[in-house]
Structure 1
């Protein structure tokens, strides 16, 4: 960083000096000619800084010149401070104008030194930049979303498929949860690759739970555990570690989950990995953890089962990525003129995707051949990273920052490496040095994320951020919303809206016509709070811990996700017909005023109730149905299950499972995945009954069926498409079908079934011969064919 300070901080410091010299208070104290001469000399030096900043790396004399300039500019600034202080003390500005000015001789002395420095430009071969040394023009930085646009990615398809294949594979390492590490240099594309895997449809369908967690370089184990819990959409209250670990265990027990830990460092994971692993190992043996890291030591420490070392991007993909960014907005003629230079510049990026993208974005704003050649021929390329510890592409990008961003960035160099400082403290230091504007001037701010900060209230002035589109407040202790938040007419996402019991923002303030996503939380005393009906863009609505709430869901054709949790007395009058995902969890007395028909709904999750308020067969597009904890539910509503259902998950619904032969599963030709989990499993001697399951079933899970004794051969006879059978925690199960399992079966997983474990294991198992034809057999996470 030190070499940046000599020029970069100066180029950002000059505007402040010019502003003070141009003030009326200063001009009134000195002769007009002296002020003009000082300003012109400083301006001349300022015009040399851009060239000097670049040449200092190759020419030590230029670096010495920059050091001298820095010293004299600081002297000027200190003198200006002294003058301002003396003015305030004297309270008589005419004192300096009527008598001999005590500061005039010092200014003249500084002027002589500055003139000498300016005259060295020819000797040092420095050229002036008449655009000033404030950096080249740039476009505004747009905050990126957590998802990835696959169409914008070039290459990495091989690595993506390699990771997906491993993530989808069954566990054959003898461990509970497998770890896959993506290892590579910074900017190599590790996070992007992990995002591609995470958002692949095959991954989405395979796992019950998915979570993406970015791990900060400095964190505490409590904060990380809470972040993981929230990512799994589970509650994360309190600051004690033990209850949080227990909650994580409860959330993951028996679940097939995918957890991505992005940007791990050795120092930050060693201190908590063992504690986290105890909870993570409660998940299904098919669960996977994907890690991205720069350090191979991290992959080794976490005992990764599979490593994917990322290499430089192939030349053809580098070119494709470069063209996508550098030639955006340029016509075909410009492309032909600049293509040859672009390829030479591309060679200097070393196959680093981030470097290619940064360089492409930098050149996209330059339209002349001369500008491109200037970038190609700059001395900054000639330095290896070892010369300055800064990647040449990133250094180039830095040198093209505008001065207002440079001066804040370079100020951080006063802190030693590894020093931790508070955000607000740094902002106050910037303000004290007049390096940053007040936050009130951030009227163009579009994205504000305050997740897991200690903030307890929002200022009313936030309503002045008229361009704000996203406001994320998860994990904060905010008890009420500021007044007039409804003025944020461009707001699209609000992750945490709290209605105060007494004073504060009313729920009626939610009236932004662009609002797409909102979460209303912890309104325990709220009884009647009709949501604004004019929310034409609302797509996702989540209401959590509003025990007494009676609501009317906003009408419209855009609502696609509705999530109601811990709303014990909720009364829903009407549901949008456009819903595609509907979640009801821990709602004891939820009521619906009329029959609901959601023809577009594809995912339905519901728990803690004695009945279903819907005629499910009317959900013509429903492909996934999950029911949890219905101890009193005896049967499905009249009409049965939807005809297009693909996945059915039933957990802890003992009376409902008792009527399973009345469900009509055999007629559901589209059903390919079925999960059943119930500790009671009343009056079951064998399972499945003949012609109970549909012939197209591909995956069957049996979890926590403590009373199940026998697997019925006749129930498997027609299952010619079944490829995976997963039996876990069925301690009373005595045998698999004597006549064998379907020939189509390719994966058999048995876990925590002590009786059949001994009978069917390869070494010494008396029934091993009945299952040895199955390609992959795992008993308590040990592959039997090895």
Structure 2
């Protein structure tokens, strides 16, 4: 009952809603002592205080259906049936993950976007719609946080079984289903994952060649947290891509591949291309023909030297590109200037690119919403030059090496009023955070700024929900509970983490 009350009402008891207590007890009784069932139903009723809604859950006919030992829990069926339609489709997409697989939140949202599963209000980005939907699945306990990372999530085995049940034959996981039966129904598959191994031979891809209508092909590690690379010949990869002409999502990470077959340019429907942690040195020129490409992920491609420039005539870089991730591309010397003229670009990650001297002579696109620029020690371009035009920025991660912003005692950054998250790190000489923080700011993280002693004189914005300070000895001391001079300023922030200590709001 305590667990149910906490997740349904955000309280420890029914004192504020006595009319719901009897209904709550009856619902909990039907869960037969299973915490997952209790949490899931409580998430369904989260902050709904109408007795009629609670009575509707209690009187559902699903409770009366006969249940086999291997069947899905009625509580989980109820939770799924009460999801909005677009949320059902996004939940069913999770059927591509095997049990116990750690799901990367940002990757999954990119796949939802590429598959056209997210519809938002006019003016609202699909990324924000996806993030809200993902958080809703977490709040309903259909996804749960992993203990290894804040960005990774798991599905309980029973929830995973539910996803596979509702997804049906349109989803396929290699090595999970009966191969002979799947061979006959391969043409029905629209979304498939492939469990990698050290060496990939043609035979392992044979079943995928019959999936002519496949829209997602996603390679997954054999085991969670396994990052060894797999060997795959260019011919085997080329033969696969030649068969899958309608792909929208193609993700092939942690592979020993040096070249991407030129035929990838024929995947005209492709929206998301992820080649992270491969050995590629460059991308084929044919990639400029991917007109609908929205996300290009090249994280950890340490041999990557350059990206293709726009060709002559009518060929240009993908004009609908929204996300570009070149994290830890340590040999990448420059980005093509055409990237920064793309009017749809919203998310740019430039991390661990020591040879990069500047972002762009023409500046960053003003509509950019998410920017991460870290560990680029040779970048001499002043941060003010590329930050000032970014009037729509919602999230900024920056360290002292980006434009040498950490070499002054006063940290002054032109922060737009739209900013929701600010993450600053490795500012070894900075003593004062002099920039006035936007009133809309919700997240402020400050890491490894050992000399930092002062927060902005204007104070912290009232909207701040998450403050984290680590490896900032002087500032941490001034913020400590009961003793620091800044404690009265931060004591009512919902979440405060100082070093390894975390404090919750006292209000």
Partner of 2:464: 746
Distance 1:740 1:551, change over 3 A: same
Partner of 2:309: 594
> For residues 402-456 of structure 1, what are the alpha-carbon distances to aligned partners after superposition, in whole Å with 9 as ceiling and x for unaligned?
xxxxxxxxxxxxxxxxxxxxxxxxxxxxxxxxxxxxxxxxxx9765433479x9x
User: Aligned residues, how many?
Assistant: 380
Rounded Cα–Cα distance in structure 2 between residues aligned with 1:489 and 1:731: 56
1:768 CA drift (Å): 3.5
The answer as to 2:261 corresponding to 1:551 is: yes
Counterpart secondary structure, 1:617? helix
Rounded Cα–Cα distance in structure 1 between residues aligned with 2:420 and 2:78: 33
Rounded Cα–Cα distance in structure 1 between residues aligned with 2:77 and 2:432: 45
Contact 1:463 1:486 in 2 (8 A): no
- 1:562 is aligned, of 253, 273, 295, to 273
Rounded Cα–Cα distance in structure 1 between residues aligned with 2:462 and 2:416: 15
> For residues 90-134 of structure 1, what are the alpha-carbon distances to aligned partners after superposition, in whole Å with 9 as ceiling and x for unaligned?
xxxxxxxxxxxxxxxxxxxxxxxxxxxxxxxxxxxxxxxxxxxxx
- 2:477 is aligned, of 758, 778, 785, to 758
Which one scores higher on RCO, CA 8 angstroms, separation ≥ 6? 1
1:630 CA drift (Å): 0.9
The answer as to 2:323 corresponding to 1:603 is: yes
Partner of 2:251: 542
Contact 1:531 1:551 in 2 (8 A): no
The answer as to 2:73 corresponding to 1:186 is: yes
> For residues 49-95 of structure 1, what are the alpha-carbon distances to aligned partners after superposition, in whole Å with 9 as ceiling and x for unaligned?
xxxxxxxxxxxxxxxxxxxxxxxxxxxxxxxxxxxxxxxxxxxxxxx
> For residues 307-360 of structure 1, what are the alpha-carbon distances to aligned partners after superposition, in whole Å with 9 as ceiling and x for unaligned?
xxxxxxxxxxxxxxxxxxxxxxxxxxxxxxxxxxxxxxxxxxxxxxx9xx99xx
**Any unmatched runs of 5+ in structure 1?**
1-153, 163-184, 205-210, 217-223, 235-256, 265-272, 295-353, 359-443, 499-519
Contact 1:710 1:736 in 2 (8 A): no
Distance 1:710 1:746, change over 3 A: same
Partner of 1:326: none
1:578 CA drift (Å): 0.9
> For residues 204-238 of structure 1, what are the alpha-carbon distances to aligned partners after superposition, in whole Å with 9 as ceiling and x for unaligned?
9xxxxxx999886xxxxxxx4xx32788879xxxx
Distance 1:660 1:525, change over 3 A: same
Partner of 1:735: 454
Contact 2:102 2:153 in 1 (8 A): no
Kindly name which structure, 1 or 2, has the bigger radius of gyration based on alpha carbons: 1
TM-score, length-scaled by structure 1: 0.40
Rounded Cα–Cα distance in structure 2 between residues aligned with 1:542 and 1:688: 39
Partner of 1:782: 503
Partner of 2:371: 648
**RMSD of aligned Cα (Å):** 5.1
The answer as to 2:299 corresponding to 1:585 is: yes
Distance 1:550 1:530, change over 3 A: farther
Partner of 1:479: 200
Distance 1:733 1:212, change over 3 A: farther
> For residues 281-312 of structure 1, what are the alpha-carbon distances to aligned partners after superposition, in whole Å with 9 as ceiling and x for unaligned?
xx46xx69687699xxxxxxxxxxxxxxxxxx
Partner of 2:173: 449
- 1:629 is aligned, of 341, 352, 365, to 352
Contact 1:194 1:292 in 2 (8 A): no
Contact 1:749 1:777 in 2 (8 A): yes
Contact 2:196 2:230 in 1 (8 A): no
Counterpart secondary structure, 1:548? coil
TM-score, length-scaled by structure 2: 0.59
1:625 CA drift (Å): 1.6
Rounded Cα–Cα distance in structure 2 between residues aligned with 1:670 and 1:743: 18
Distance 1:551 1:290, change over 3 A: closer
Counterpart secondary structure, 1:702? strand
Distance 1:537 1:524, change over 3 A: closer
Partner of 2:284: 572
Distance 1:613 1:528, change over 3 A: farther
1:161 CA drift (Å): 8.2
**Any unmatched runs of 5+ in structure 2?**
1-40, 50-71, 109-133, 221-228, 311-315
Rounded Cα–Cα distance in structure 1 between residues aligned with 2:216 and 2:317: 28
